[in-house]
């Protein structure tokens, strides 16, 4: 089942305005749960790798929704 261009635009807006902030809160909460003591944090390069990995993790499953959203409607 393929989404129409209009539906993809709407879903991408919902994902960016609602889903992404929720994902950020969950990701930061998981990191805080893994390292509750600020003195026990991993080195800065490891932290950057963790946050980049978490930051990319949400995008790959939703790539098909965002593909072509910024272009004109091909059906019009």
What confidence score (pLDDT) does residue 71 get?
A: 82
- CA torsion sign for 62, 63, 68, 74 is negative
What confidence score (pLDDT) does residue 72 get?
A: 81
Residue 37 in any domain: the answer is yes
Q: How many domains does the chain have?
A: 1
What confidence score (pLDDT) does residue 42 get?
A: 86
What confidence score (pLDDT) does residue 22 get?
A: 92
What confidence score (pLDDT) does residue 1 get?
A: 57
Residue 72 in any domain: the answer is no
Residue 69 in any domain: the answer is no
Residue 73 in any domain: the answer is no
SS (H, E, C) 23-65: HHHHHHHHHHHHCCCHHHCCCHHHHHHHHHHHHHHCCCCCHHH
Residue 51 in any domain: the answer is yes
Encode the chain (76 residues) as per-residue pLDDT tens digits. 588 888 889 999 999 999 999 988 988 888 888 888 888 888 889 888 888 888 888 888 888 888 888 888 887 7
Residue 76 in any domain: the answer is no
Residue 46 in any domain: the answer is yes
CA distances from 52 to 4, 47, 57 (A): 31, 9, 8
Q: Which domain holds residue 17?
A: 5-64
């Amino acid at each position: 089942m393929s989404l129409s261009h209009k539906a993809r635009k709407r879903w991408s807006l919902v994902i960016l305005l609602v889903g992404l902030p929720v994902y950020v809160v969950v990701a930061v909460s998981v990191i805080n749960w893994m390292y509750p003591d600020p003195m026990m944090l991993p080195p800065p390069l490891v932290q950057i790798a963790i946050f980049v990995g978490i930051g990319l993790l949400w995008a790959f499953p939703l790539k098909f929704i965002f593909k072509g959203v910024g272009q004109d409607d091909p059906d019009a």
